[in-house]
Structure 1
Amino acid sequence: MEAKEILTHVDHTLLTQTATWEEIRQILDDAMKYDTASACIPASYVKAAAEYVDGKLPICTVIGFPNGYSTMAAKVFETKDAIANGASEIDMVINIGHLKDGKYEEIEDEIRRIHETCNGRILKVIIENCLLTEEEKIKMCEIVTKAGAEYIKTSTGFSTEGATFADVKLMKTHVGKNVKVKAAGGISSFDDAEEFIRLGAERLGTSRLVKLMKNSPDKKPDIRKQKQ
């Protein structure tokens, strides 16, 4: 798979607490230049970003991020606000404590409510796999499918581990046919990105691939080789 094709699966991401408008604008410029699937940025920059790209790039933002334990009402409000400001995709974090407590109906209801608030826009549900057992991951595949979200997503990138090949394979096996998989967190090479796609991930959350492409525009770069 060519690097340019891999980049079409990427949500080019900057979600650090220190992100400035100048840095966000660079993310947007690079995302448009390399034809990524979207730019995923903090909600406070969505309005300015949507105006800046003027329809040339989908703007994605995060809800209940990164811990997921906001109330449902707060998450629904965040979603409404983000959409009003021009967001075209939403990545929400589940309440992981509720999953551990077995509050499956509450989690499903929250996802469904946020999905309804998205009003036809793409919703990706972050389940933070590194904090879950295999049984909990499978249960979340079931819940996300029943709730009607478009994607299930591995990670925030802000916890103890990011995406793994094993988790993407597991999720792809257990989600419904209408649910896609997004791998995020720690994707640092085109070789790994290609493997995630082969295993079934249709979106990749990362900023590193565009950076690698900018440094090596004529070939498929691999950060692991650069570190040797």
Structure 2
Amino acid sequence: MSITSSAALAAIIDHTILRPDTTEADIDQFCAEALQWKFASVCVNPLNIPRVAAALRGSPVKTCSVIGFPLGATPTDVKRREVEWVTAQGASEVDMVISIGTLKSVGAGPIGEEVAVLKAACGDVLLKVIFETALLTDQEIVAASLAAKAAGADFVKTSTGFTQKGASVEAVALMRRTVGPKIGVSASGGIRSFIEAMAMIEAGSNRIGTSRGVALMREAHF
């Protein structure tokens, strides 16, 4: 993917605020920034979805909710009910977290089954699948990527940003090689500079999840 303008960069940034101490004032600020810079989405925890959806209504900026965040260690039916609730409240994108322990214990089969259930619950709402690549082997990343793709995921995504390491260029490149060109790859977690974001894009990412979207834009030079 080639990014040649600040507008093109802004259009792939998921402006993300998932801190446990996030206030309503923080949410309002992130929504205002997303509207100003024309970011792809504002990504928040489920309870903040109604406020974000109201702030962004009528704009091209999407309302994105995380599901099973940050560990993914909840039953599929609970995640499905989360999806149903956030989409009813106005979420137009959903970022689900897989169960890493399940993947490591029994393989990618149950991951694919869960993605299929949540994709059905999403309907037309875009679904990203978060892997936590820093905790996985290359073989596990490949297996999870193939399972998510086969189950109908719209994106595979590197990280929650809540473990010891976020996205890496190597993981993004591996995911892109594995899923091919027809579904998205999102780099998220630990991306703090324009240079880092551009490296992820060069490796094959076509979304950037970051809490530092405004700082990235101010650093951008095209």
Q: TM-score range by the shorter chain?
A: over 0.9
Percent identity of equivalent pairs: 37
2:80 to 66, 76, 81: 76
Q: Distance in 2 between matches of 1:103 and 1:168?
A: 21
The answer to whether the Cα contact below 8 Å between 2:193 and 2:215 also exists between their aligned partners in 1 is no
Normalising by structure 2, we get a TM-score of 0.94
Structure 1 portions without partners, runs of 5+: 222-228
Q: Distance in 1 between matches of 2:151 and 2:182?
A: 11
Q: Distance in 1 between matches of 2:105 and 2:58?
A: 42
- What displacement does 1:207 show? 1.8
SS at match of 1:101: helix
Counterpart code for 2:92:
S
Q: Kindly tell me: are residues 106 and 16 of structure 1, through their superposed partners in 2, closer, same or farther at Cα, counting changes over 3 Å?
A: same
- What displacement does 1:117 show? 0.5
Q: Which moved more, 1:95-104 or 1:34-43?
A: 95-104
- What displacement does 1:64 show? 0.2
| Pairs aligned (count) | 217
SS at match of 2:191: coil
Encode CA deviations 1:34-65: one digit per residue, 9 max, x unaligned.
01100001110111211122131210010000
Q: Kindly tell me: are residues 203 and 212 of structure 1, through their superposed partners in 2, closer, same or farther at Cα, counting changes over 3 Å?
A: closer
Encode CA deviations 1:128-165: one digit per residue, 9 max, x unaligned.
00110111011111101111100000000001101111
How large is the Cα RMSD of the aligned pairs? 1.3
Verify: 1:195 aligned to 2:204, yes or no.
no
Q: Kindly tell me: are residues 212 and 108 of structure 1, through their superposed partners in 2, closer, same or farther at Cα, counting changes over 3 Å?
A: closer
Give the match for residue 167 of structure 2: 163
Give the match for residue 225 of structure 1: none
2:149 to 139, 145, 149: 145
Give the match for residue 3 of structure 1: 6
Normalising by structure 1, we get a TM-score of 0.91
Structure 2 portions without partners, runs of 5+: none
Verify: 1:220 aligned to 2:203, yes or no.
no
1:30-41 → structure 2 map (5 Å cutoff):
30-41=33-44
Q: Which moved more, 1:185-194 or 1:68-77?
A: 185-194
Verify: 1:109 aligned to 2:82, yes or no.
no
